[in-house]
A and B are shown apart, each in its own frame.
Chain A
Amino acid sequence: MLNLLIFIPLLAAFAILLGVAPRKTALLAAGSQLAAAILLFFSYDRAGAAFQFASRYPVIPSWHLSYYVAADGLSLVMLLLTSIVTLAAIWVTPPVERRASLFYACLLFISAAAAGAFASQDLFFFYAFHELALIPTFLLIGIWGSGERLAAAWKVTIYLALGSFILLIGLLDLYHSIPEASRTFDMIELQRAVIPSSAQSRPFLLLLIGFGTLVSLVPFHSWAPVAYASAPSPAAMLHAGVLKKFGLYGLLRLALPLLPEGAKHWTGLLLALLAANILYIGFVTIAQRKLDMMLGYSSVMHMGYIFLGIATFNVIGVTGASLLMFAHGLSIAALFAISGMIRERSHTLSFDSLGGLATPMPFLGLAFGMAAFASIGLPGFANFASEIMVFFGAFRTGGSSLQFNGLQLATIGGLWGVVISAVYMLRAYRAIFMGAPSKAISGWSDPAFSHRWPLVLLLASLIVVGFVPKLLLSYLRPAVEALLH
């Protein structure tokens, strides 16, 4: 069953490359993937075992290497995110002028790779699936990107490849530090391994840098804004919304349970870096004058809050962080979708040359407003529910002392970051949508009804989870508790 989520898009991608009608097939595949994800979500037995829907095929038995997928609550939520964003991204894709079939195939490859990475419980496949997504990302930016697309494509690929490489070294180091008796590639089995605390700090640092690069942790972030600004909007949606979460997911899945002492050892560094993600990148975001760059930086900035949740090392904060992965994925996807729609009409995203768009395009104005409010953490959207848990998690053990610890200081920085987000988002909204419409844009109109649904899908998911976070929390909490045991 879980295999469907990976192989539907994969097979559809191959079919498209072989000449099947690209858009229709891609939409069908994404729709079925989402349907399967929802079905899995609701058929998961929350009273039963943590990992369900397992399927395992030995690949090289003598090496104990097997294709092994299974899902717990955390995986399920990530898979749900993957399929929602995939459907939205494929749906908003405007007519592709060159090599449409390759374009759709690339999107589906990314989706399959992300789903594979989130579902794999075998270390090799976990890593390999993510690697698989890098090639289509390169192609999407390199062929269909805007601006200096080749430079951007190379930059993101080199960065991510280097990040993956460091990650690989980290994984190997982690593997080596496990006592020989309990070495295995089975990630579920691996959770039981006990690594001597003295051996934990180096692999954690490597994993932090490796995964961190993939999540644009400062100072390994500078690939992200350029890549997102240059990428065609469906690619940016999938990458910023889904694929980027792989690094965070990996930290949660491997680093937290296996290297708790290592994590404690590097907490100070992690806090300093995430505070830089929030405050320093926050200020960089304020200075941006183009929507795509601004959104790229804002997505880098918001990673800081997820890291903050992880750095709490308690159920409240980490559950908040995992919910925020979902929420951020949807909201940034919606924002990139809208920025793509604007670019289609205006061919520029510079604040200075836009303005008054809400008059000819009220729907887009409303949708952007909602997505922006979601991303800056307004109640009613899932992002708020997650952020509040992150903050409360961070202050959980404070007591009544004014001698704030590092975690609390970073949280105070994070609270100020909420103000910073409001500054740049509202500024962008005002620059693009408010004001008197110029003559040039009077002929523009909202996207056709059929192209509004992806935005409705993303925003409605954010609102439903924002109003009833329990819907996902009842899946996330047991998974997080198991990771933190």
Chain B
Amino acid sequence: MNNNIPWLILVCPLIAAACILLFTRRAPSFSAHISVFAVCVSFLGSLVAFIVPYSDAPNQLSWIDLGGAFRVPIGLVVDPLSKVMLLIVTGIGALVHIYSLVYMADDKGKSRYFAGLSLFMFSMLGIVLADNFVMMFIFWELVGVSSYILIGHWFTRDAAAKAANKAFLCNRIGDFGFMLGILLIWSATGSFGFSAIREHIALLTANPAFLTVAALCIFCGAMGKSAQFPLHVWLPDAMEGPTPVSALIHAATMVAAGIYMLVRVYFIVSASATAMAVIAWIGIITAVLAALMATQQDDIKRILAYSTLSQLGYMVSAVGNYAPEAAMFHLFTHAFFKALLFLGAGAVIYALHHEQNIWRMGGLRARMPKTFWTFAIGTLALMGCFPFSGFFSKDAVLLAMFHNNGWIFVLGLGTAFLTAFYMMRLVTVAFLGRARTENAEHGHDGPFAMTTPLQILAVLSIVAGWSFVAGPVFGKPFVERLEAGSHTFWVPMLAFVAFAIGAAGGWILYANQPSDPVLIPVFKKKFGIDEFYCLLIGGTQELLAKACRFFDKWIVDGLVVRGLSGATLGTGLIVRFFQFGNLQGYAFLFGLGVVALIYIIVFVH
């Protein structure tokens, strides 16, 4: 019975989504509660799965089975890595579902929203539990779909529709590489199960160039899902979705799937030093660029989105610096404090009637104390302030960089400084000082179902980094590996200094400012990357499409086919015959065929 629990965890949200789609679309509140119930069951299941030790692996189903030639199993892997991820996904998922009950209470598309959330939970849990590449890819794509549905929830707004498409396409581009990587690994090893590949890893390592290409292709998938440079552009736009979605999907879980996947297949990517270097650099470049962009944004959710990009960059870079444990540790703490920050931002947006510009806020500390204090905790954790959780995990990441590559370490420190700076800017402008608008004067804390998740997440954001919490969660071997590297006093010290300077800078520049005293257009315009892509797409894809359409219409259809068909028959007569005629023409040809057939039968036999 025990080994059916992972199946229960996985399937519950799917049943909820199907129920809502088929039966309860017209009963939004009921739909919402089905969805909440399902995620709670999954969370309880994850707790049981976490506590109860396993004797055997869960049953495997086979999805495609072509005898010996080809078999795609649907099997679940329950190991320390997936157990932690289950807890994060279902735990934060449950809190976000509950929070959504309030946030989306009066939404017209409530049923659709909760069906989407449940579909997301199903897909995400599938990624976490997948024991082979194809199954992971299946759920990987489904996560993309649910993200598309939820970003585009308010589809009558053009920006939301656009953002949903952008997110889906960026992910698809990444998945192009991902699938190719899976195919390459399959062509070399003949398998796509993680344990089977591990057994046949020698077949891959035998050809280092091939391995590097395969590993980088796999990494492409992570670049799409975890929004790494240069595929990062979709994540900030994804903030067009409802804020709880941003918290769950675009901060805590889905975007972390790329890191989770890299850690899951670490034994493959780490075999190629080149691939690892690329991963490390892509990660840190994303971290720095996103942090720079974050310093000049005015939309509270966008600031947090860029910060998510930046932190994801940290995690990716940690994997590339041979520290998957540090990446997972940071993923773990980041999930809590970033979900907290988004839900806190959501509480502010909700209270201020969908105001998202921080320069139209101010003075919320007094009016929204619960929101403010929890938000402040999340901020300190994100900045990496001792003894909040982010300090420890960021320290682990920086340590890995320190040991592996000095330049990356310096950039990592720079990112830590920038993080402290832009978060201080955000808090100072939005929460401190005086209210800048009428809306901001009437802000107030949300109801119970909204503040409770904030408080729970705040507690977790504090303690998640402490070893007596993280230790049991991750298990002993993991912690040992995490602490195996030689520790140096300098790394945490420098990280703390970066935090202190950044936070102080943010305070000095932004305390009691009526408007932004700093203006750096290149950061505000996000380095013009979006514009560049627009030009690029316009110059390549659209141009090519138009050229192909022209060619097809005038050359293929107009000249070649008609000419060829005339030429192959030796005469244009038949064609002309049809153009004059009516059904007779066709009947003629049909008759000709029949006559020819009969001729053959009679004379050949």
The answer to whether A470 touches B65 (Cβ under 8 A) is yes
B353 within 8 A of A: no
Q: How far is the CB of B187 from chain A (nearest CB, A)?
A: 3
| Structural contact, A287 and B546, CB atoms closer than 8 A | yes
Closest to B140 in A: A379
A371 to chain B, nearest CB (A): 14
Note all chain B residues with C-beta closer than 8 A to A176. 600, 604
Find out whether the CB atom of A419 lies under 8 angstroms from the CB atom of B169. yes
Contact of A415 among B70, B179, B204 (CB under 8 A): B179
A154 within 8 A of B: yes
CB of A434 within 8 A of CB of B156, answer yes
B206 CB to closest chain A CB (Å) equals: 7
Which of A10-18, A255-263, A388-396 makes up part of the contact surface?
A388-396
Of the listed stretches A27-35, A187-195, A278-286, name the one at the interface; the rest are far from the partner chain.
A278-286
Closest B residue to A171 by beta carbon equals B597
Is A435 a contact partner of B161 (Cβ separation < 8 A)?
yes
Question: In which size bucket is the chain A interface?
Answer: 35 or more
The CA-CA distance from A63 to B186 in the complex, in Å, is 51
Known contacts being A63-B601, A423-B169, A434-B156, is A161 close to B66, with CB within 8 Å?
A: no
Does B173 sit at the interface, judged by CB under 8 A? yes
Asked if residues B155 and A358 are in contact (CB atoms below 8 Å), the reply is: yes
B residues in contact with A286, CB < 8 Å: 541-542, 545
Inter-subunit contact A419/B173 (CB<8 Å): yes
Is A430 a contact partner of B589 (Cβ separation < 8 A)? no
- Tally chain B residues at the interface, Cβ within 8 Å: 81
Q: How far is the CA of A422 from the CA of B549 in the complex (A)?
A: 18
Let me know if B556 is at the binding interface, CB within 8 A: yes
Report yes or no: B583 in contact with A135, Cβ–Cβ below 8 A.
yes
CB distance from B489 to the nearest CB of A (A): 45
> Which B189-212 residues sit within 8 Å CB-CB of chain A?
203-204, 206-207, 209-211
Q: Which of B86-94, B283-291, B440-448, B557-565 contacts A (4 or more CB under 8 A)?
A: B557-565
Q: Note all chain A residues with C-beta closer than 8 A to B161.
A: 430, 434-435
Given known contacts A280-B548, A419-B173, A423-B541, is B586 in contact with A138 (CB within 8 Å)?
Answer: yes
State the CA gap A385–B546 with chains docked (Å): 32
Segment from A50-58, A242-250, A266-274, A398-406 that makes contact with B: A398-406
Q: How far is the CB of B445 from chain A (nearest CB, A)?
A: 33
Is A400 touching B156 in the complex (CB atoms < 8 A)? no
Q: Which residues of B contact A399 (CB under 8 A)?
A: 187-188
Chain A nearest CB, measured from B296 CB (Å): 29
Q: State whether B186 touches A392 (Cβ < 8 A).
A: yes
Contacts of A359 in B (CB 8 A): 156
Chain A residue with Cβ nearest B108: A359
Report the Cα distance A470→B209, complex, angstroms.
Answer: 37
Stretch from A75-83, A92-100, A162-170, A342-350 forming part of the interface with B: A162-170
Cβ contact of B207, chosen from A393, A400, A411, cutoff 8 A: A400
A135 to B585, CA, bound (A): 11
Does A397 count as interface, using CB distance less than 8 angstroms? yes
**Interface: A144 (CB within 8 A):** no
A11 to B542, CA, bound (A): 50
- By a CB distance below 8 angstroms, the chain B residues around A416 are 176
Is B530 interfacial (CB 8 A cutoff)? no
Most buried by A among B157, B552, B590: B552
A391 and B192 CA atoms in complex are apart in Å by 13
Cα(A219)–Cα(B553), bound, Å: 12
Of chain A, the residue at the smallest CB distance from B134 is A388
The answer, among A64, A168, A398, for a CB contact under 8 Å with B597, is A168
Q: Majority SS of interface residues in chain B?
A: helix
Q: What 0/1 readout, one digit per residue, does chain B (30-58) give for beta carbons within 8 Å of chain A?
A: 00000000000000000000000000000
Contact among A162, A358, A412, A422 for B565, CB-based, below 8 A: A162
CA distance A158 to B69 in the complex (A): 42
Please state if A135 and B586 are interface contacts (CB–CB under 8 Å). Answer: yes
Q: Are A172 and B600 in contact (CB under 8 A)?
A: yes
How many A-B contacts if CB must be within 8 Å? 203
B188: nearest residue on chain A (CB-CB)?
A400
Name the contact of A418 in the complex, choosing from B172, B565, B598 (C-beta under 8 A).
B172
Q: What's the nearest-Cβ distance from chain A to residue B333, in Å?
A: 31
Q: Establish whether residues B70 and A392, one from each chain, have CB atoms under 8 Å apart when the complex forms.
A: yes
A10 CA / B542 CA spacing, docked (Å): 47
Query: Nearest Cβ distance between residue B298 and chain A, in whole angstroms?
Result: 25
Bound complex: CA A436 to CA B156 (Å): 4
Q: Is the CB of B187 within 8 A of A64?
A: no
Report if A64-B548 is in contact (Cβ < 8 Å); known contacts: A319-B66, A392-B186.
no
Cβ B186 vs Cβ A395 within 8 A? yes
Complex contact B561–A220 (CB within 8 A): yes
Determine whether the beta carbon of B69 is less than 8 Å from that of A470: no
A453 to B511, CA, bound (A): 62
The reply to whether A287 and B165 form a contact with Cβ atoms under 8 Å apart is no
Q: Does A427 contact B (CB under 8 A)?
A: yes
B213 touches A402 (CB 8 A): yes
Q: How far is B176's CA from A315's CA once the two chains are assembled, in angstroms?
A: 24
CB of B85 within 8 Å of the partner chain: no
Asked if B230 is at the interface (CB within 8 A of a chain A CB), the reply is no
Q: Decide: A154 and B579 in contact? CB cutoff 8 A.
A: yes
Chain B residues within 8 Å of A215, by CB = none
B486 CB–A CB distance under 8 Å:
no
Asked if A288 is an interface residue, CB under 8 A from chain B, the answer is: yes
Q: Are B209 and A402 in contact (CB under 8 A)?
A: yes
Q: In the complex, what residue of chain B is closest to A172 when comparing beta carbons? A: B600
Cα distance, A330 to B98, chains bound together (Å): 39
A127 within 8 Å of B (CB atoms): yes
| Contacting residues, chain A, for B596 (C-beta < 8 A) | 168, 172
* Bound CA span A402–B215, Å: 13
Question: Is A124 positioned at the interface, with any CB of B under 8 Å from its CB?
Answer: yes
The residue in chain B whose Cβ has the minimal distance to the Cβ of A400 is B188
* 8 A Cβ contacts from A446-485 to B: 469-470, 473, 477
Q: Mark contacts of A81-93 with chain B using CB atoms, 8 A cut-off: 1 yes-contact digit, 0 otherwise.
A: 0000000000000
For B509, the chain A residues whose CB sits under 8 A away are none
Q: Does B472 contact A (CB under 8 A)?
A: no
Known A183-B605, A378-B145, A395-B186; contact A284-B549, beta-carbon cutoff 8 A: yes
Do A222 and B605 have beta carbons less than 8 Å apart? no
State A427–B165 Cα separation when bound (angstroms): 8
Cβ of B152 to closest chain A Cβ, rounded Å: 7
Residues in chain B near residue A283, CB distance under 8 A: 541, 544-545, 547-549
Residues of B close to A131: CB separation below 8 A: 590, 593
For chain B, residues 87 to 122, give those with C-beta under 8 angstroms from any C-beta of chain A: none
Contact B561 A433 (CB under 8 A): no
A164 to B586, CA, bound (A): 11
Query: Which of A398, A423, A426 is within 8 Å of B184, CB to CB?
Result: A398
**Pair B64/A389 contact, Cβ less than 8 Å:** yes
Name the distance in Å between B559's Cβ and chain A's nearest Cβ.
11
- B602 at the A interface (CB under 8 A): yes
Instruction: Decide yes or no whether A373 CB sits under 8 A from chain B.
Output: yes
What is the CA–CA distance of A423 and B604 in the complex, to the nearest angstrom? 53
Known contacts A158-B575, A158-B579, A423-B169; 4 additional CB pairs below 8 A are A158-B578, A394-B183, A395-B186, A418-B172
Pairs A–B under 8 Å by Cβ, sample size 11: A138-B583, A175-B600, A222-B552, A284-B549, A285-B545, A315-B69, A378-B141, A395-B187, A430-B162, A436-B156, A477-B67
6 interchain residue pairs of minimum CB distance? A398-B187, A400-B188, A222-B557, A434-B161, A287-B549, A287-B545
Q: Which residues of A contact B (CB under 8 A)?
A: 63-65, 124, 127-128, 131, 134-135, 138, 154, 157-158, 161-162, 164-166, 168, 172, 175-176, 183, 185, 218-222, 280-281, 283-288, 314-316, 319, 356, 358-359, 373, 378-380, 384-385, 388-389, 391-402, 408, 411-412, 415-416, 418-419, 422-423, 426-427, 430, 433-437, 469-470, 473, 477
